[in-house]
Amino acid sequence: MTREYPPNVYGGAGVHVEYLARELAKKIEVEVHCWGDQKLDEGNLHVRGAEPWALLAEGQEKFNTALATMSLNLAQVKSLAAIDVVHTHTWYVSMAGFLAKKLFNVPFVLTTHSLEPLRAWKAEQLGSGYAMSSWMERTAILDADAVIAVSHGTKADILRAYPEVAPEKIHVIYNGIDLVEYEKTSDNTALTKYGVDPAMPYVLFVGRITRQKGVTHLVEAIQYLPPNMQVVLCAGAPDTQEIATEMRQKVEEARHVNRHVVWIEKMVTKAEAIQLYSHARVFCCPSVYEPFGIINLEAMACRAPVVASATGGILEVVVDGETGYLVPFDPDPVTGFPARPEQFARDLAAKISELLAHPKKCRRFGEAGRKRVEEKFAWTAIADQTIALYRRLIESRGV
């Protein structure tokens, strides 16, 4: 159960489900129920999309997203009678898993890619619906037979946010990467297409325009970076009109000090992203909250050194001084944003600048990053761990 599935993927959870489902289907029969009009039957993989109830999705109120979510969860649960185990990803589908467990007496597995209590800025996106999304997530996590955390840091966050959850119910299974698809390429046609100068070094950001991904902090850091290098912001799908406006203002201000800021205002194709990773001197992940950070795996697989916030699951992906640099991150205890945003921007700029000035170190870090993803984050092992968990739960319930 997932909100995102190709072609409707806008974040790491959607990438995770796409590749996990494909890998699982090599060994077991898999149904993916998602948001949209998708329909696919390919071997063991069956995909079925559905749309929320239009009456609840219409209108301008921010809470409509939460209402639409509940409507689709209610509709999709009717098609789950023949399954052996239900596995949900993100709060958008958590109630479908909760209800399937109650109605059909099947084990309920929940992968948490983020936690609502740790994302207070979601109130800007969902309005009063944030209370509803938080309730749905909490209800599902407390009732799930197994909770998959995508990092050890996420497991610790779950236990802090939901201390009622038994630690033994939480299983750490990492995100993964397709090592064949994500590989360094010499093709640079996407750079030319989007106005990136292949001859000039650049620092790259890839991700949505959200508070969580911290892209505005990277934009703030531009004033402290050398002016003779490019900053490529592959950033689209803003959460709200407010952050879209803020992003535009900050980019315009940054262009006064560095005219080589390239903003690609959309989510590019996978092939284009791989080209951008492959030719980047540095990849930057300035997230303020990141349970895992699959985007860093993509960059490392393409041999790009990474400068990233020292927070959450990033600490288990990027090795400081070996595959890139971790930038100290001191969150405000209330908002979760940097307690000293100017200092955070300066620290980002300092580490990026160091790598920009040392191409040999960049290449060494890039090769080390590729080796790390090959050794630790292949999808095959992740699918095997997931299937083993399914089997244990099914056997324990006698299903």
200, part of any domain? yes
d(CA 276, CA 189): 10
195 lies in the same domain as 156: no
d(CA 30, CA 22): 9
- The domain tally of the chain equals 2
**Which DSSP string corresponds to 89-105?**
ESGGGHHHHHHHHHHH-
- The one-letter amino acid at 339: A
**Which DSSP string corresponds to 281-317?**
SEEEE--S--SS-HHHHHHHHTT--EEEES-GGGGGT
pTM score, two decimals? Answer: 0.84
What the block records as the tokens of 159 is: 């236990």
CATH number of the structural domain spanning residue 272: 3.40.50.2000
- pLDDT score of 105: 94
| pLDDT category of residue 111 using cuts at 50, 70 and 90 | very high
53 lies in the same domain as 109: yes
Query: Which whole number is the average pLDDT over 281-287?
Result: 97
257 lies in the same domain as 386: no
- pLDDT score of 333: 85
Res 121 pLDDT > 80:
no
- The one-letter amino acid at 318: V
Structural domain of residue 96, as residue ranges?
Answer: 12-176+378-397
137 lies in the same domain as 112: yes
How confident is the model over 290-330, as pLDDT tens digits?
A: 989 899 999 999 999 999 999 999 999 999 999 999 999 99
7, part of any domain? no
170 lies in the same domain as 23: yes
143 lies in the same domain as 273: no
- pLDDT score of 11: 81
